[in-house]
Amino acid sequence: MEKLFQLKKNNTNIKTEFIAGLITFCAMVYILIVNANIYTNPLSNGENIIGISYGAVYVATAISAAIGCFLMGFIANLPISLASGMGLNAFFVYTVCISFGFSYENALVIILIEGVIFLILSVCGGLKKIYDAIPSCVRSSISAGIGLFMALLGLQNAGIIVPNNVTGIALNSFNLLNVSIQNIIPAFVSLFSLFAIAIMAKKNIRGAILWGILFGVVMYYLFGFFIPDFYTNLQISTMNPLISLKQFLGEAFCKVFTIGLDFSEYISTHGLSNFILVISTTLISFCLINIFDNIGSLQAICEHGNLVDKEGKIKNFNKAMLANSLSATLGSLIGISTVTTYVESTTGISEGGRTGLTALFTGIFFLLAIFLSPLAKLIPSCATSAALIYVGVLMMSSVKNIDWKSTEISIPAFLTICMMSFSYNVSNGIAFGLLAYVIINTFTGKVKEIKPVTWLIIMLFAATLLFSH
């Protein structure tokens, strides 16, 4: 164990790595339920348009996450966990399958090709060149951008920030005279869990995030005693793991090869030219989103855990991207949309996770979740939301490294930070940051400082935004 993960060198131990892996899993477990719901009930009307069962998606999500975590742990020895990417899964279901009209199996072929392209770029060093083409002003702001993004997601999952027809989003109403207490309990639980984490962290109590999540779970169910029919209406999953495994093998596993390669039905309906255009633009979109989401997330996570070199660049970058690309490719064989790095990994790093053993433990928990689905569903999102908000606060500290007085640095940095959270997309933040960097430096006499690969990235982003976004 010591030889494989170098625990002493990284100033950690098995207990710390175990707790970090558990915390990361608790922060990520929502993907099992969310992914299954997106695939099997995309329009929230009970209609299964895609045609794959809940159990099959649940198992595929768990297995692909476990494999991704294992690959990252063993290949790169980093405490970073992976799973089917949020945003990418929605793009897969709503755009590729529902809007474009591809079958579930056909769509997996696109994921497979994208994964292979990602793998080739990783092996030949192309991803390292792309990473080096990102200027330091954009790279140093990625952590803060993802931190703000995580905090916003946490506030929304907790019901503290809610949709608003006029302003887009707004503060939820806490007026007990106008709203039901049931509607604001998640917000209270999340806020008090956040305060509990902050207090324990200030007192240097080990496992503050895990204890905060557990505090939120207990608090949530204690509040249930004051809500009529709370426990009567509490739905505990009765999903049989053996039946779900059978559904996974029959509906998802390797369907990319057995059914997915046959595009004849799509071509006969939409035409060959449409098929070529849609496949091409969709592949470019998936590749750009996956590559820059991974680079952005890895940068933020590694900065947070001090897993970067003196220049602020990711240690074991090539190995980490190899693990990511293999995970994305294998995910398509398992029957799930692109597997990618999860920024929730920072929750485990905040509790001391420093090696791939953390990712290994997270992967084991994902496999156990196949057989413990009722327990996984009992963890309310408002409890884990507090962890997301807290880690978001920690990640915002990187803004101190930005020279806010210099416009050629501050404008790209600001756009990177705000566009990530406001557009719900990490790669969009990087795209706008790079665009600002290129334009400002071009018209201020610093065009020679812009690398050729940076120009290429900007053109690809522009093509994606103008023709396929």
Residue 405 three-state SS: coil
State the sign of the Cα–Cα–Cα–Cα dihedral 359, 288, 119, 30. Answer: positive
- Strands (DSSP E) found in 299-435: 339-341
Say how far apart CA 71 and CA 77 lie, in whole Å: 9
Taking residue 233's Cβ as centre, other Cβ atoms within 10 Å add up to: 9
272-304 helix and 104-124 helix, angle to the nearest 10 degrees? 50
Nearest to 211 by CA among 412, 432, 22: 22
Structure tokens at 292: 């820059």
Q: Which helix (H) or strand (E) holds 166?
A: none
Say how far apart CA 261 and CA 264 lie, in whole Å: 9
Instruction: Give the DSSP per-residue string, 69-82.
Output: HHHIIIII--S--E
Domains contained in the chain, number: 1
Contact 61, 32 (CB under 8 A): yes
CA 342 to chain centre: 4
Nearest to 249 by CA among 425, 370, 338, 128: 370
Say how far apart CA 429 and CA 415 lie, in whole Å: 6
The backbone torsions φ and ψ at residue 315, rounded to the nearest 5 degrees and listed phi first, read -75, 145
pLDDT computed for residue 328 by the predictor: 94
Which residues partner with 163 through β-bridges?
Answer: 169
Say how far apart CA 67 and CA 135 lie, in whole Å: 32
- Strands (DSSP E) found in 243-366: 339-341
Say how far apart CA 367 and CA 76 lie, in whole Å: 21
Say how far apart CA 226 and CA 223 lie, in whole Å: 6
Residue 456: CA count within 13 A, CB half-sphere: 9
Contact 69, 416 (CB under 8 A): no
What single letter denotes the amino acid at residue 422? Answer: F
State the sign of the Cα–Cα–Cα–Cα dihedral 405, 411, 417, 418. Answer: positive
pLDDT computed for residue 394 by the predictor: 79
pLDDT computed for residue 375 by the predictor: 65
Q: Which helix (H) or strand (E) holds 168?
A: strand 168-171
Contact 78, 327 (CB under 8 A): no
Per-residue pLDDT of the chain (469 residues; tens, 9 = 90+): 777 899 988 889 999 999 999 999 988 887 887 788 889 888 756 778 888 998 899 999 999 999 999 999 999 999 999 999 877 887 888 888 988 899 999 999 999 999 999 999 999 988 888 888 888 888 888 878 878 887 888 898 888 998 889 988 899 888 877 777 777 888 999 999 999 989 998 887 777 777 888 899 899 888 888 777 766 666 665 567 888 899 999 999 999 999 999 999 999 998 988 888 788 878 877 887 788 888 888 988 898 888 888 878 888 899 999 999 999 999 999 999 999 999 889 989 988 899 999 999 999 999 999 987 666 667 777 887 888 888 788 778 778 878 899 999 999 999 999 998 888 777 788 889 999 999 999 999 888 889 998 898 888 888 777 775 5
Structure tokens at 75: 């290949």
Say how far apart CA 410 and CA 136 lie, in whole Å: 11
The backbone torsions φ and ψ at residue 231, rounded to the nearest 5 degrees and listed phi first, read -80, -25
Say how far apart CA 383 and CA 77 lie, in whole Å: 29
Say how far apart CA 451 and CA 48 lie, in whole Å: 47
* Domain around 407: 2-467
**Residue tagged 């990994």 (tokens):** 345
Residue 118: CA count within 13 A, CB half-sphere: 36
What pTM was computed for the model? 0.78
Residue 162 three-state SS: strand
pLDDT computed for residue 235 by the predictor: 62
Residue 216 three-state SS: helix
pLDDT computed for residue 44 by the predictor: 59
